[in-house]
Amino acid sequence: MSALGRHILVEFFGCNPEIMNQVSTIENGMVTAAETAGATVINSTFHHFSPYGVSGVVVIQESHLAIHTWPEYQYAAVDLFTCGDEVNPWKSFDYLKKAFEATSYSALEMRRGSVDQLERIDFDLSTMRSEAKERQNPGKYTRNVWFTDKDDNQALSIRYTGEVLFDKQSDFQKVKVLDTYAYGKMLTIDNMIMCTEKDETHYHEMIAHPAMLTHGNAKNILVIGGGDGGTIRELLKHSSVEKVTMVEIDEAVVEASKLHLPQLSSAFGHEKLDLIIGDGIKFVEDAAAGSYDIIIVDGSDPVGPAEGLFTNKFYQDCNKALNDNGILVAQGESPMFNEQVFVELNHALKGVFGKEAVHCFTFSIPTYPTGIWSFQMATKGGAHPTKNFDADKSAAFAESNNLNYYNEGIHTAAFALPTFIKKKLNA
């Protein structure tokens, strides 16, 4: 043995960009590459970064394999380091070149720790051997695979099992379901967190119940978006409801929820639900005047198919489609994340419904960026979410339906805005 280790620095070019953005696929590939070379895998830790890019390392008994990808450049930088002569890093290289579908590469091998330049010393291993025995690889390595939702300045990472339960590229967006350790199953769209089993009630109870209990007797309701099913589940808990029409543009979201999120999708078979797969913006535009008691706009961030849900024209059409005592609720973004959109949406609603008819309210949700999110409510006919509010009715409803987040205290408190939010909205 002329050197302690073999170190190959690799650049893969022309890789499949879809593979370069799939953290679970890359993790599986790197682990298999290590095993193909004859290495013993101890641990793997991988992170996906939103909107794209993966970093990770596989710790092997003989050293490590590391990677970072740039899907937008079809490029991966890979580090293959093995100790001794028994593990051949070039076997890992050959495997990864095929797995990543690289069209070309650059590779440089270096010998690490030249034996001729080193002097070996003797030291007592007797006390270390018993400790090492307890730490031997039991035959199953530890996986640390992380999903990261981030922008240029902040990020949220959630560890998951590494398995992707649902993965479909629809005509509109990339829909996935992952199984996380802390939050249960998680729905993502275009690598942004939409909901998790553990905290989805925060969002869905708050988008539905404040409006329903402010109105008091809503019978005909329209939901735009909401393909996971959580919003319709909450609406259909109200006995006054006669019909809920839900218009979701992407059938893949509904499919993912039905297959893997039974907690959210339980109301899809309800007799009062009319599910339409189609363009919600066009549906509202064509709706007859005065058709609905409540319209709920349950869209994602203003990109892709949800972009049109943040325009003046859309909310003018919503205003027309509501009856004289109607209420609109829209997903309102975060006052600390998408600040500009948060303010612009509030001002747009005030321009359509009138300043005194628009009410912003907030709630906490740990898996959304910054942990604080908002809904915007616009009312017709003078209804007010705190002045026209029956606390006893709200308390009874929350208790009888075993709600997880919403109650009569949360209802009124949600509309009490911090000073910094008031300043943003009044600027």
At residue 140 the predicted structure's pLDDT band, cuts being 50, 70 and 90, is: low
CB 379 within 8 A of CB 354: no
Q: Which two tokens stand for residue 96?
A: 């990864």
Q: Which residues are tagged catalytic?
A: 63, 68, 83, 298
* Beta strand spans in 243-357 (E): 243-248, 273-277, 292-298, 322-331
Is the domain of 380 the same as that of 246? Answer: yes
Report the binding-site residues for S-methyl-5'-thioadenosine. 173, 248, 279-280, 305
Is the domain of 74 the same as that of 222? Answer: no
In a domain, 150, yes or no: no
How far the first Cα of the chain sits from its last, in Å, is 72
In a domain, 155, yes or no: no
CA angle in degrees (0–180, nearest 5) for 27-151-278:
85
Nearest-angstrom CA–CA distance, 319 and 322: 5
Is the domain of 266 the same as that of 346? Answer: yes
Is the domain of 101 the same as that of 237? Answer: no
Residue 71 belongs to domain with CATH number: 3.60.90.10
Looking at the structure of the chain, the number of domains it has is 2
Report the binding-site residues. 173, 204, 228, 248, 279-280, 305
Nearest Cα to Cα of residue 421 among 296, 334, 324:
334
Q: What integer pLDDT is reported at residue 139 of this predicted model?
A: 55
Give the highest mean pLDDT range of 47-56, 79-88, 113-122, 240-249.
240-249
Q: Which two tokens stand for residue 53?
A: 């890019």
Is the domain of 310 the same as that of 232? Answer: yes
In a domain, 177, yes or no: no
- Among candidate residues 107, 123, 145, the one where a domain is terminated: 145
User: What percent helix, strand, coil does the chain show, rounded to 5?
Assistant: 35, 35, 30
In a domain, 174, yes or no: no
Nearest-angstrom CA–CA distance, 214 and 194: 26
In a domain, 165, yes or no: no
Contact partners, residue 402, CB within 8 Å, separation at least 6: none
Number of neighbouring beta carbons within 10 Å of residue 98: 10
Q: Are strands 142-150 and 372-379 parallel, antiparallel or unpaired?
A: unpaired
Range of the domain at 24: 3-133+141-145
| Mean pLDDT of the region 11-19 | 96
- Among candidate residues 145, 167, 190, the one where a domain is terminated: 145
At residue 135 the predicted structure's pLDDT band, cuts being 50, 70 and 90, is: very low
Is the domain of 100 the same as that of 220? Answer: no
Helix (H) or strand (E) holding 260: helix 251-260
Is the domain of 117 the same as that of 223? Answer: no
CB 80 within 8 A of CB 89: yes
In a domain, 171, yes or no: no
Cα dihedral across residues 190, 193, 194, 197: positive or negative: positive
Residue 355 belongs to domain with CATH number: 3.40.50.150
Nearest Cα to Cα of residue 95 among 5, 34, 22:
34
Nearest Cα to Cα of residue 182 among 196, 167, 193:
196
**How many CA within 13 A on the CB side of residue 3?**
12
Q: For residue 301, count CB atoms less than 10 angstroms from its CB and return exposed for 0-12, middle for 13-18, buried for 19 or more.
A: buried
Is the domain of 230 the same as that of 329? Answer: yes
In a domain, 206, yes or no: yes
Q: What integer pLDDT is reported at residue 127 of this predicted model?
A: 53
Is the domain of 213 the same as that of 342? Answer: yes
Over the chain, what is the mean pLDDT?
Answer: 91
In a domain, 188, yes or no: no
Residue 126 pLDDT exceeds 80: no
**How many CA within 13 A on the CB side of residue 40?**
10
CB 375 within 8 A of CB 202: no
Q: Which two tokens stand for residue 416?
A: 């009490």
Is the domain of 216 the same as that of 303? Answer: yes
Contact partners, residue 339, CB within 8 Å, separation at least 6: 424
Nearest-angstrom CA–CA distance, 151 and 279: 28
- Among candidate residues 122, 145, 168, the one where a domain is terminated: 145
Residue 273 pLDDT exceeds 80: yes
Is the domain of 241 the same as that of 366? Answer: yes
Number of neighbouring beta carbons within 10 Å of residue 132: 9
Local structure of 168: helix, strand or coil: strand
Report the binding-site residues for spermidine. 204, 228
Amino acid at position 258, single letter:
K
Is the domain of 379 the same as that of 236? Answer: yes
| Mean pLDDT of the region 261-286 | 97
Residue pLDDT, tens place only, 58-109: 999 889 999 999 999 999 999 999 987 788 999 999 999 999 999 999 999 9
